[in-house]
Amino acid sequence: MNELMAARSLTTLPVVTLGGDAVAQIKDTVFDAAAGRVTGFTLSGRGLLSGPLKQSLPWTAVHSLGHDAVMIRDALALRETSVVVARREAQQGRVLHAKVLTDEGTEVGTVLDVIVEGGTSGRVVGFRIAAGKALVQGSRRRRHRVYVPRGETLAVSGRALVIPADATRYVADDLPAFVARVGAFHDERKGTPP
Amino acid sequence: MLFSQARGLPVLTLTEAEEIGVLRSLTVDAASGVVTHVRVRGRHSRKETVLPWGALHALGPDAVLVRSAAAPAEVPAHHELPGLRILAETGYELGTVKDVAFEPETGRVEAVVSAHGEVPADRLLGLGDYALVVRAG
């Protein structure tokens, strides 16, 4: 499996052509309506004083998403922002800060960040959430931030998203541990008959 | 030969043995993997002259001999390789360029030397102002 990355950490990542030129940097990550995959990125100019760019980067033009850069074939891959992010504001608002419920009806927390897979897939593999009492026991003052894998089928509405109850058994405290848990979670799901 | 060895060599014309300056840097075309131009800086004037690789008669261990010191009509953008970051096409950094090994007879680039080892020339994809992009090996 490719390296996992938190969507928020992608901000300021340079967008580099295969010709070696940095053409922009990432401003925001845009997801599809079901929060299943990355559909593109909004961009800002590189440098201290440059603001947001009029153009955005559709995922189809991404050569590879890496730890140090987003690689694109050439600068012609950039598109008008309206094409890439038709309903961006709505979707951003929908995923971040949304309540996370299990399909058994337990509230487990709220979404802080979206975890995506690097490379060429752009898949959303899980979420970083502020864990509620149901998920992590202990005092409220010790607010726990954990990673939960996303289920194959995930329901996202205006204010909540629903994950399978067994996903909550695969929470992890940090990204490296989460990589192993996601693998285990998917292995088990494949093993169980539908 | 390494870029670091070529740098600083005196550049002389073949017919008059007149020194036009010292070799400052070499311009590489990453896609074809060859040195296309050499940059020469005058010892006194500090003026930089660009010479196409074809104008070179010989690049020896102690001096560079050129047939003509005429500047080419078109000068491509120069990206200084030593010190430039190396990016794999997957978006991961592989350190910075320490040196470049090339054939002094033909100008063919053999390998790019980084702190993590050598990148053979056939893995070079592109060279720009931000990075040298290489095929994942």
CATH code of the domain covering residue B97: 2.30.30.240
pLDDT for the residue numbered A166: 84
- What is the DSSP secondary structure assignment for residue A165, as one 8-state letter? G
Of A17, A63, A68, the CB nearest to B128: A17
* Phi then psi dihedrals of residue B63, to 5 deg: -160, 160
pLDDT for the residue numbered B124: 94
Residue B59 in this model has a pLDDT that exceeds 90: yes
Q: Is residue B119 part of a domain?
A: yes
Same domain, B61 and B10: yes
Q: pLDDT 10s digit of each residue in chain A, 194 long? A: 578 999 999 999 999 999 999 999 999 888 887 768 888 998 999 877 788 888 899 999 999 999 999 999 988 888 887 777 765 544 555 677 888 888 888 888 888 999 999 999 989 888 898 887 767 665 555 567 888 888 766 677 667 888 888 888 888 888 888 888 888 887 877 665 44
Same domain, B103 and B58: no
Kindly list the structural domains of chain A, giving each domain's residue range(s) and its CATH number in brackets, ordered by start.
7-91 (2.30.30.240), 93-191 (2.30.30.240)
- CA triple B26-B29-B30, angle to 5 deg: 115
The answer to whether the CB atoms of A21 and B129 lie below 8 A apart is yes
If one counts the domains in chain B, the total is 2
B96 touches chain A (CB under 8 A): no
pLDDT for the residue numbered A194: 40
pLDDT of B30-46, one tens digit each?
A: 989 999 999 999 888 77
Q: Is residue B74 part of a domain?
A: no
Among B15, B39, B66, where does a domain finish? Answer: B66
Helix H or strand E encompassing A43 = strand A38-44
Residue owning tokens 């047939």: B67
Same domain, B97 and B60: no
Segments forming the whole domain that contains residue B112: 85-134
A45 touches chain B (CB under 8 A): no
CA separation for the pair B11, A99 (Å, rounded) = 70
Among B16, B31, B66, where does a domain finish? Answer: B66
CA separation for the pair A99, A134 (Å, rounded) = 13
Distance from CA of B35 to the nearest CA of A (A): 17
Q: Which residues contact A153 (CB under 8 A, 6 or more apart)?
A: A164
Core vs surface per residue A150-163: b (16+ CB within 10 A) or e: bbeebebeeeebbb
CA separation for the pair A92, A33 (Å, rounded) = 10
Same domain, B53 and B98: no
Closest to A120 (Cα-Cα) out of A33, A60, A36, A182: A60
CA separation for the pair B55, B75 (Å, rounded) = 14
A63 touches chain B (CB under 8 A): yes
pLDDT of A134-168, one tens digit each?
A: 676 655 555 678 888 887 666 776 678 888 888 88
Q: Which two three-digit tokens encode residue B27?
A: 């311009």
Same domain, B8 and B62: yes
Residue B93 in this model has a pLDDT that exceeds 80: yes
- Is there a contact between A175 and A67 (Cβ–Cβ < 8 Å)? no
Would you say the C-alpha torsion A23, A17, A29, A170 has a positive or negative sign? negative
pLDDT for the residue numbered A141: 52
B78 touches chain A (CB under 8 A): no
CA separation for the pair A160, A68 (Å, rounded) = 32
The A residues from 87 to 146 touching B (CB cutoff 8 Å) are 118-119
Q: Is residue B76 part of a domain?
A: no
pLDDT of B119-133, one tens digit each?
A: 999 999 999 999 999
Q: Is residue B35 part of a domain?
A: yes
Q: Is residue B116 part of a domain?
A: yes
Q: Is residue B11 part of a domain?
A: yes
Closest to A71 (Cα-Cα) out of A115, A19, A2: A19
Same domain, B99 and B52: no
CB-hemisphere CA count at 13 Å for A71?
Answer: 30
pLDDT-derived band of residue B106, with 50, 70 and 90 as boundaries? very high
- Is there a contact between A54 and A44 (Cβ–Cβ < 8 Å)? no
The answer to whether the CB atoms of A119 and B131 lie below 8 A apart is no
Same domain, B9 and B54: yes
The answer to whether the CB atoms of B89 and A18 lie below 8 A apart is yes
CA separation for the pair A121, A39 (Å, rounded) = 11
Distance from CA of A70 to the nearest CA of B (A): 6
Q: Is residue B80 part of a domain?
A: no
Q: What is the mean pLDDT of residues B6-14?
A: 93
Among B16, B35, B66, where does a domain finish? Answer: B66
Same domain, B60 and B89: no
The answer to whether the CB atoms of A16 and B128 lie below 8 A apart is yes
Q: Is residue B19 part of a domain?
A: yes
Same domain, B10 and B60: yes
Same domain, B57 and B98: no
